[in-house]
Amino acid sequence: MRMTARTAITWAFLAVCAPIAPVSAQSGPVILDLGPVEPTPAPTPRDADKLRLVSTVTVQNNAEGESVISFEVQDVADEGDDRIRPIAFKTYSLAAEGIREAPPEARPLGRRIVEMIRDIEREMLEYAEIAGPPKERKPLVE
C-alpha cells in the first residue's frame, strides 16, 4: 500500500502532537494567586442636616362619636441638592388609650392636640359649607 503525501503529513502531525495533547488538556489554565481580596471601603457619608417633621396626620371619626387620631413623625437627613434620606419614623396615637399609655408629661399635650384638631375640624366643616357641601347620593333603586 502506497502512502500519499497527505496521509504522510497527517501521520507525522499525530506522531508529534499526540504525546503533547493529553498533558496540555489536563494541566488547565495558568492561575496566579494574588493574595487576599481587600474589600472596597464604604463610601463616606455626605454632610447632612438631621430634620424631624410630622409626615402624616390621620383623623378617623364616626357618627357614634369615636375618634382615632394618629400621626407619624419622621427623621430625615437633608444632604442638599434635593437629596433627602429617611433615617427613622414612629407613629403616635392620640386615641383615649394612646394618651393613657403615653408618658405622664406628654398626656396634657396629647389632650391639647386633640382639642386643637377639633377646632380645625370645625374650620374644615365651615370651609366645606362655603366651598360646596357634599352632594347626596341618588338611590340605586327608585
**pLDDT tens across 20-70, in order?**
555 545 666 665 666 776 777 777 677 888 899 999 999 999 888 888 899
Contact 92, 98 (CB under 8 A): yes
pLDDT at 18 over 60: no
CA distances from 85 to 49, 57, 113 (A): 10, 21, 28
Helix (H) or strand (E) holding 68: strand 67-78
- Measure the CA–CA gap between 8 and 122, rounded to whole angstroms: 108
pLDDT single digits (tens) 87-141: 899 999 998 777 888 899 999 999 999 999 999 999 999 999 999 988 888 888 8
If you average pLDDT over residues 68-88, what whole number do you get?
90
In the Cβ-directed half-sphere of 70, how many Cα atoms lie within 13 Å?
9
Show the DSSP H helices in the chain as ranges.
5-17, 21-27, 96-101, 107-131
Examine the pLDDT at 1 and tell me if it is beyond 60.
no
Question: Where is pLDDT greater, at 110 or 16?
Answer: 110
SS3 of 71-91: the string is EEEEEEEECCCCCEEEEEEEE
Give pTM, 2 decimals.
0.61
Q: What is the pLDDT of residue 130?
A: 96
